[in-house]
Structure 1
């Protein structure tokens, strides 16, 4: 699904593997990912993403806000870590 807000377009993936396929098609400026996903967790997703395109910034959004989880995400290349729930 693609959503548009002004000049911004957002795309969704059903899981990490689907997300990687979409990234391979190109056109992404930033990626928001959860850590808990089916088929491939967020840390595995980021590891594979770095092989596809190491330049795309990744923001991890998760309800699991333990310090060790955040550090693991940052070690895998996450640019930031946001805990759920959050308000815009």
Structure 2
């Protein structure tokens, strides 16, 4: 039952991410998408602790909005340097 519950939660999260990211993909330029990722990193770093789940969420969203790994890492470094 626990595994099934976790799977159902993951499917719901994936759907939620898709709805959110599809709007970004339709309406944002690539540069704006990179800025979204940078802002997500800023939120993740806000409490001075980067949780593995926060990092996973930012990575997942970056993938879904087609931000390159290079730009993903650079956005992370810029956000971290603002702390």
The normalised TM-score by structure 1 is 0.37
- Higher relative CO (CA 8 A, sep ≥ 6), structure 1 or 2? 2
The normalised TM-score by structure 2 is 0.39
Which protein shows a greater Rg?
2
